[in-house]
Amino acid sequence: MRPFSIRNKIMVTVVLFFMLVSALGIYWYQMSARIIQDNTLKLSGEIIKQMSSRLDSYFSEIVDLTLPMIARPAVAQYLENSGKGPYERLLYTKQLNKMFYNVMVGRPDIYGISIVSQKKIAGSSYSNLYAEKRFQSIAGQLDHSGKFEIIGMNQYLDVKLFTMAVKFFSPGTQNWGIMIIDLRLDKVSAFSSGVMLGDTGFAWIADAQGRYLYYPDHKRWGEGIPVSHLDRMKTRSAGGNVENVDGKKMLVSYRWSDVTNLTFFSEVPLSELNRDLVKLRNVTFVIGIIALIFSLIVVISVSFSLTDSILVLQRMMKRVESGKLDARLPSAKKGEIGYLYRSFNSMVDEINNLIRTVSEFQLKEKESELRHLDSRMQALQYQINPHFLYNTLEIVNSHAIIENKPVISRIINSLARIFRYSVENHTRTVPLSMELDYMRDYLDIQMERFENLQVDIRIDDSLIGHVTAVPMTLQPLLENVFKHGYQKHKLEAVYLSVSGELAGDAFYLYIEDQGGGMDPHTMDYYNGLFHGTSERTECDCLGLLNVHDRIQLFFGERFGLAFVRSDHTGTVIRIALPFRNNSEQG
């Protein structure tokens, strides 16, 4: 039998390759469609998981905010005495309303709070009658004392409400009652509004009674959900699959929350997921047919008389494969083979260069990984839970308000803002106004510490909008004033001044105190450190150098710190920051 020629072998190879690519294309299309569906299920599952987590956190926040009220003496007195007569009811209801006001202030999401005694006598922030009317139905749903339960949706006048309640006993007595928390439904539903999956996908929430708690079409709020979705709710689990919804194939994901007893759903049209994939399949098929025809024409028209040159190239390639990167082909050869030989030589040179580059890169990458690991370890050592601390400060603030302690409330609010600024601000630069707000909160706390401290802030508000600063710039300098200006010299902190001055394209901030100051030699040494003329040795000035270095890192060597004056009458330090007018900012 006559062996196949190279031409025939190439033609057969092209046809087989086309068939293989076609089979792989079909397999790729099927697998891609499946992967897209799986990834979309995972993505939508993560989205509704985050929605559920946010709503769980919100309800936990409401519980933490309102549950302490049932332990208040006013509640126990109300349960004990509200049924004795109109005067007693009016007297103790007034105390409840005052307590309700302290909790609801600044919380527009809470529509109303009601406490109803076992005698069906209600004290409510908005309607006693409405609370008494619902007592029987709500009390029947509360199985455990001291645990909030989600009651569901209600409507008062034209306001849609989302109700949660708790049954409780007065300490040391048999008196009991229920506390009803009515939340605005639109505030609760806001956790799902704005969530889009693709072009037309969306998310929605169902309550424990199988009704729409939130749906993009507000007209369906309160209506019953389809039976197929109701069956998913009964499983009290999470999952997803393809379902027919209103005649369309939809990718449906769901998740039940054991905290709120709500079920979260997401729906994405299957046609939307595969739309671009179908287009790509058709285009790929057409291109494949064209490529096959073109390949056959080229194979027929091209001569294969250059087999010897190809074999030489093959031998050289085997040498390279064995690790002998000194292989070279004659570069003087002309035509396509000559170009191929020169390309081979260039490839071998490039491989040598890449090996050297990869070796250097791997070394640098290992060094970077070590530095990154060290940074992560350091970050983990200082990591805390901001959300827990925020809630804790909010609880302390609430008790301060209830106990009519405005000073404590103000300090707690200042501390919360300071903590939020230092933890949540990860930007490279911030507006100077944010630094000044942070400074005022810090000084507000220090003024409670130093009763005779006088703070004088003189800065033109029309200028600070054009000034950019580095986060956490002013606080170390102010701390330096109290530590080295006053405490080091055993002086009482009585005066601190912060002023601003525009000088061309620079904005100068001056911090002045009336502390003990420093000797001229020390001041000159610090200024030398700032200007790079003094040698850096171990000193008690790392905080100042850190602030100075960060300012120069972001804004250049023209900006930074400098001591203007320091003697026994006090110290003045200047901070130079860039000033940008409106045209520069644009």
pLDDT reported for residue 468? 92
Q: Are 262 and 240 in contact (CB under 8 A)?
A: no
Q: CA–CA separation, 129 vs 131, rounded Å?
A: 5
Please give the distance of CA 37 from its chain centroid, rounded to a whole number. 26
- Over the Cα atoms of the chain, what is R_g? 37
Using 50, 70 and 90 to split pLDDT, how confident is the model at 586? very low
Q: Are 499 and 459 in contact (CB under 8 A)?
A: yes
Q: Which residue type, as a one-letter code, is found at position 335?
A: G
- Of all residues in the chain, the percent with pLDDT exceeding 70 is 84
Q: Which residue type, as a one-letter code, is found at position 571?
A: T
Facing residues of 34 across strands?
none
Q: What is the pLDDT of residues 30-39, one digit of tens each?
A: 777 677 767 7
**Segment 190-193 long-range contacts (CB within 8 Å, at least 24 positions apart):** 191/51, 191/54, 191/55, 191/58, 192/51, 192/264
- Residue 138's alpha-carbon distances to 96, 150, 151, 164, in angstroms, are 20, 10, 7, 9
**Segment 172-175 long-range contacts (CB within 8 Å, at least 24 positions apart):** 173/76, 173/79, 173/80, 175/76, 175/79, 175/80, 175/117, 175/118
Q: What is the pLDDT of residues 404-435, one digit of tens each?
A: 778 788 788 878 787 777 766 656 788 999 89
Residue 32 main-chain phi, psi, to 5 deg: -65, -45
Q: CA–CA separation, 196 vs 91, rounded Å?
A: 51
pLDDT reported for residue 167? 92
Q: What is the pLDDT of residues 438-491, one digit of tens each?
A: 889 889 888 888 889 999 999 998 999 899 999 888 988 999 999 999 999 999
Put simply, whether the predicted model's pTM sits higher than 0.75 gets the answer no
pLDDT reported for residue 281? 65
Comparison of pLDDT for 6 and 49, the residue scoring more = 49
Q: What is the pLDDT of residues 196-241, one digit of tens each?
A: 666 777 787 888 778 887 777 777 777 888 877 887 777 878 887 7
Q: What is the pLDDT of residues 304-338, one digit of tens each?
A: 555 666 767 777 778 777 777 777 777 777 666 77
List strand residue ranges (DSSP E) for 119-262, in order: 122-124, 149-156, 159-169, 176-184, 196-197, 201-206, 212-214, 238-245, 248-256
Sign (positive or negative) of CA dihedral 364, 366, 367, 369: positive
When the pLDDT of each residue in the chain is averaged and rounded to a whole number, the result is 81
pLDDT reported for residue 380? 44
Q: Which residue type, as a one-letter code, is found at position 312?
A: V
Residues 264-291 have a mean pLDDT of 74
pLDDT reported for residue 381? 44
Using 50, 70 and 90 to split pLDDT, how confident is the model at 193? low
Report whether pLDDT(180) > 90: yes
For residue 86, with 0-12 CB atoms within 10 Å meaning exposed, 13-18 middle and 19 or more buried, which class applies?
exposed
**CA angle 406-437-64, nearest 5°?**
45
How many residues make up the chain in this entry?
Answer: 586
